[in-house]
């Protein structure tokens, strides 16, 4: 190689590092302006900030524009989602650490929800936030009053608790969390109070714990807060049995009424989304396919977006009204076949005006374990 070529390569090598550094430094801005590279979809469960406008020129307006532009840039700088995904992969696979405080990385690909602002999660599992004596008294007063209202209306009233995932699969929690398991949870206290005051309480913790021992397929999603359709079906059977005890003519569906299929999927649950890991993990999808054509059809609801309503053309069947959270969604296809009218409201309190309008035979108040304070 001649001296000229050598000198050229030497000069080029000296430029490589600073040019690369500047390229990396300005790449987010270049990407933001020209979108030259593909990026992942944002995992934030919110609307990204829009580009602000400076309509008038004043000190106050410029200051506000600067603040708004910083928010906009933080939400929209180039390759933001790819960098978040890379950070999540490093934390999860190399450091076994959650990139966000609301998620706990468990064993064998299990993810657990532990928000400090959305109900009571692992602190309840650890027994550190029991109901106080006043809380218990408030639950007794409120539930007794509701029970009396339903007694006067001759309506079956059932309170159902959907267990949190860590309650059914504590062994999949990290050892440092499992070792702190407490002796008394809020669900334990509710299980003592409601039966004592005569309220029918369907506590699904024992049911699902027993069923998990005989099922190789998990009853909950590994990457989501919720149970899967298999766990929901066992919850449905327990609830249907409780209704049958009050309404002897009520008949629910059995496992034999379905073809059940299990599939693996890349793990795209709500917790995986929180840690920007959608599509990088493994989970199970359980499908219940009814062997006979479904009788229930969706009808327009009188209660807006918070409600779902189904009807079956059989006036001999009872009517159902459910106040519930998102855990109950997976039970809806099972229950609708056994009622002439089923109304499911996404709210965690009983509205007696709706009860009086619907005139149901059965009312269910369902809540996931972390929302146990709704009974107060």
So what's the pLDDT on residue 63? 77
Higher-confidence position of 23 and 196 = 196
Domain definitions of the chain by residue range: 39-78, 104-221+236-253+293-375
Q: How far apart are CA 183 and CA 167, in angstroms?
A: 12
Phi, psi of 88 (to 5 degrees): -65, -40
For tokens 């267990």, name the residue: 163
The CA distance from 52 to 64, in Å, is 9
Q: Which residue has the tokens 């053309």?
A: 313
Q: What is the pLDDT of residues 253-294, one digit of tens each?
A: 999 999 999 999 988 899 988 887 777 889 999 999 999 999
Model confidence over 304-327: pLDDT tens digits? 988 999 999 999 999 999 999 999
Mean pLDDT along residues 112-120: 95
- Name, in order, each residue with C-beta under 8 angstroms of 134's C-beta and a sequence gap of 6 or more: none
Pair of tokens at residue 127: 């027994």
**pLDDT (average), residues 169-180:** 96
* pLDDT per position as a tens digit, 332-364: 999 999 999 999 999 999 999 999 999 999 999
- pLDDT at residue 64 tops 60: yes
Q: Which pLDDT value is given to residue 31? A: 60
pLDDT interval class at 126 (50, 70, 90) = very high
CA distance 97 to 91: 5
Give the span between the Cα atoms of 207 and 300, in whole angstroms.
34
CA–CA–CA angle 100, 106, 111 (5° rounding): 60
- Its sign, for the CA torsion 356, 357, 362, 367, is negative
Measure CA 6 to chain center.
62
Q: Is the pLDDT score of 186 beyond 60? A: yes
Mean of pLDDT over the chain: 88
Pairing state between β 200-203 and 156-162: parallel
Least confident range from 7-21, 114-128, 328-342: namely 7-21
CA atoms within 13 A on the CB side of 244: 12
Q: pTM, whole model, 2 decimals?
A: 0.81
Instruction: Record the tokens describing residue 353, joined without a space.
Output: 């005006």
Give the least confident one: 54-68, 214-228, 345-359: 54-68
48 φ/ψ angles, rounded to the nearest 5 degrees: -70, 150
- Lowest model confidence (mean pLDDT) among 14-18, 141-145, 367-371: 14-18
Q: What angle do CA 333, 335, 341 make, to 5 degrees?
A: 105
């Amino acid at each position: 190689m001649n001296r000229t070529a050598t000198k050229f390569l030497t000069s080029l090598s000296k430029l490589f590092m600073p040019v690369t550094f500047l390229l990396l430094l300005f790449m987010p801005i270049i990407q933001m302006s020209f979108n030259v590279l593909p990026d992942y979809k944002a995992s934030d469960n919110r609307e990204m900030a829009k580009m602000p406008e400076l309509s008038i020129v004043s000190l106050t307006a410029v200051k506000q524009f600067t603040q708004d532009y910083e928010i906009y840039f933080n939400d929209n700088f180039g390759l933001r989602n790819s960098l978040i995904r890379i950070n999540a992969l490093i934390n999860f696979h190399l450091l076994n650490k959650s990139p966000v405080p609301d998620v706990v990385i468990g064993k064998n690909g299990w993810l657990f929800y532990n928000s400090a602002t959305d109900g009571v999660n692992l602190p309840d599992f650890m027994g550190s936030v029991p109901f106080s004596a006043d809380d218990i008294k408030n639950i007794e007063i409120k539930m007794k009053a509701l029970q009396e209202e339903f007694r006067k209306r001759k309506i079956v009233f059932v309170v159902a608790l959907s267990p949190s995932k860590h309650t059914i699969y504590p062994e999949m929690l990290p050892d440092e969390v499992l070792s702190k398991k407490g002796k008394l949870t809020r669900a334990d206290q509710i299980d003592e109070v409601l039966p004592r005051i005569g309220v029918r309480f369907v506590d699904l913790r024992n049911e699902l714990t027993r069923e998990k021992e005989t099922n190789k397929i998990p009853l909950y999603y590994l990457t989501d807060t919720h149970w899967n359709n298999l766990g929901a079906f066992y919850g449905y059977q327990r609830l249907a049995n409780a209704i049958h005890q009050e309404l002897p003519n009520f008949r629910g569906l059995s496992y034999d009424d379905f073809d059940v299929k299990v599939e693996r999927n890349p793990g795209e649950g709500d917790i995986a989304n929180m840690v920007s890991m959608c599509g990088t993990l493994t989970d199970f999808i359980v499908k219940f396919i009814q062997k006979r054509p479904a009788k229930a059809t969706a009808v327009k609801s009188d209660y807006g977006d918070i409600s779902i309503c189904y009807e079956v053309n059989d006036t001999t069947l009872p009517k159902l009204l459910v106040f519930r959270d998102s855990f109950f969604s997976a039970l809806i296809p099972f229950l609708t076949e056994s009622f002439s009218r089923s109304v499911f409201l996404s709210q965690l309190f009983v509205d007696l005006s709706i009860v009086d309008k619907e005139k149901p035979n059965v009312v269910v108040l369902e809540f996931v374990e972390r929302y146990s304070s709704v009974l107060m």
